[in-house]
Amino acid sequence: MSCLFCQIANKEKESDEVFEDDQFFVFKDINPKTRIHVLIIPKRHIESVNHMDEEDVELVGTLFLTAKRMAEQLGVADSGYRLEINVGRGGGQIIDHLHVHLMAD
């Protein structure tokens, strides 16, 4: 499997891990744009929002719940944070494995 984020989720490639459960992996962005900048990814490879299917609806709902829990764990739930999902090259997506950026200053 050549997908970088699949490799990170499988721990074939090193990352600064923040959280893991059976469905998701959360790690620090290698090039943080804000004080807190983590990436939340489903372990199952979905290329982007454009590649979402009906069967992914529950997973993506839980992805947002995980983002909320990460914000709490990282201590920014009350002060506020930004979630960003880039889709396609024109939307700024570089890694073709669905991910949510959680960012806070």
Judge whether 99 counts as a catalytic residue: yes
Q: Which residues of 30-68 are buried (b: 16+ CB within 10 A; e: fewer)?
A: eeeeeebbbbbbbbeebebeeeeeeebeebeeebeebbe
**Which residue's C-beta sits nearest to Zn ion?**
3
Give the one residue of 24, 25, 27, 81 binding ligand 5GP; rule: CB under 6 A: 27
Of residues 42, 9, 12, 6, the one with CA closest to residue 24:
42
Q: Using the rule CB under 6 A, is 92 a contact of ligand 5GP? A: yes
In whole angstroms, what is the distance from residue 67 CA to residue 85 CA?
12
Q: Using the rule CB under 6 A, is 11 a contact of ligand 5GP? A: no
Chain positions 63 to 82 lying near Zn ion, rule: CB under 5 A, are none
Q: Which region among 55-63, 65-73, 75-83, 86-94 touches ligand 5GP (by CB under 6 A)? A: 86-94
* Token digits of residue 27: 């790690």
- In the complex, minimum distance from the CB of residue 77 to Zn ion, in angstroms, rounded to a whole number: 28
- Hey, which residues are catalytic here? 99
